Amino acid sequence: MPTKKKVAKAGSKAKYDPLSSQRIRELLKRLDKTYPAAKCALTHRNAWELLVATILSAQCTDVRVNMVTPGLFAKYPTPQDLARLKPEQIEPEINSTGFFRNKAKSIVGAAQKVVEQFGGEVPQDMDKLLALPGVARKTANVVLGSWFGIASGVVVDTHVHRISRRLELTREDEPRKIELDLMKVVPKHHWIDFSHQIIWHGRKICVARKPRCAECPLESQCHAADKTWSTVDVHKSAKP
């Protein structure tokens, strides 16, 4: 087993194309094999619960959100229940998720709009979801993909952001630009699974502080500059 990373020599990357269809297919094949049943880690029973849980997940772990939502939904099970409240009434319920005042305003505001404009049902449309308070593309993509099975885009959370750059699938740093790059190279039928798989990969193996490269099923396809162990050339431009 090598103990040092291989640093790419001048000219050694001339024929390397990180976005080649062959490489993309190989990455997806390995992800499918490693994470065949990857799903959203947020506990939910319907689209509304998933929407609320995703709003709560901003700057918070899914584990923490899953500790908070059972009590919240037991007390306020429907959008109608939350729409009747003032944001400060649910702040104690969600305090531990961080940024709870803004999240409370978003959740109550979203509940009111869902009730008033969509008959109490979470819309299955990107533009309508984006009109809800507290909902950006990440949240909308999570709800559309994980609950409705609609591949409207690619979820770009912190794991997808970091790992897509490490894998040289994008050089962008803004979530929307990263999403657009991924939508170009990942086949549409794989958008939903790809997001789930990369998120699980980021939690289990490609961790931010010290990636477990020696155990990684993508290792021979990855040239990231911060690899802890490598059998392939390391590319200085492949940075998270």
Q: What mean pLDDT is reported for the chain?
A: 94
Q: What is the mean pLDDT of residues 152-169?
A: 97
pLDDT in tens, 16-62: 999 999 999 999 999 999 999 999 999 999 999 999 999 999 999 99
Regarding beta strands 6-7 and 233-234, do their DSSP bridges make them parallel or antiparallel, or are they unpaired? parallel
Q: List, by residue number, the catalytic residues.
A: 138, 157
Burial level of 23, CB count in 10 A (0-12/13-18/19+)?
Answer: middle
The domains found in the chain, sorted by start residue, are 6-38+155-234 (1.10.1670.10), 47-146 (1.10.340.30)
pLDDT reading at 8 higher than 80: no
What is the pLDDT, as a whole number, of residue 32?
A: 98
Instruction: Give 68-111 pLDDT, tens digit per residue.
Output: 999 999 999 999 999 999 999 999 999 999 999 999 999 999 99
Residue 15's pLDDT is what? 84
28-60 CB burial, b ≥16 within 10 A, e <16: bebbeebbeebebbbebeebbbbbbbbbbbbeb
Give the pLDDT confidence of 141-152 residue by residue, as tens digits: 999 999 999 999
Dihedral through CA 28, CA 33, CA 35, CA 36, nearest 10?
A: 100
Structural tokens at position 141: 């993509």
Question: What pTM was estimated for this model as a whole?
Answer: 0.91
